[in-house]
Amino acid sequence: MESSNTDVIAYYTLSAYTIELADLNESFAKKLPRYPLLPATLLGRLAVDRTYQGQHLGELILIDALTKALLATAQVASLAVIAEALDEPAAKFYQKYGFQKFKQNPMKLYLPMKSVEELCQNSNI
């Protein structure tokens, strides 16, 4: 009998989240409703096993996560995807895909859903 490998090599989570309007960059915030808390999608702990790093798996699962977040907005409102980087290299990874730093916390980043849509279109998804 043949056995298959069931090791987890990469993962992420998506969940509902709220962000404060005041924490967002002015150019993005001025287009939003004036509520103190706004709906977003939290991209939790995207990670790739060290053995598989450097093989573009992070990019692949990020695009998968963003695609799923975009599809979910048809059912549940979300104005952006939020990521909380564990360190500066992780923050730079997200910034490479257009994520912007929150004013108060540079390790917390956001990507407006309009940018998610454009990224998905450019990736032919």
Has residue 1 been placed in a domain?
no
Residue in this structure with the two tokens 């730079």, named with its chain if needed = 92
CATH number at residue 100: 3.40.630.30
Convert the pLDDT of each residue in 25-76 to its tens digit. Answer: 677 777 777 778 889 999 988 999 998 888 989 999 999 999 999 999 989 9
Please, what sign has the CA dihedral across residues 44, 53, 57, 101?
A: positive
Q: How far apart are CA 105 and CA 122, in angstroms?
A: 29
Neighbours of 44 (CB within 10 A): 16
Expressed as residue numbers, the domain containing 40 is 10-122
2, part of any domain:
no
pLDDT higher than threshold 70 for residue 79 = yes
H helical segments located in 1-125? 26-29, 57-72, 88-96, 113-122
Predicted model pTM: 0.85
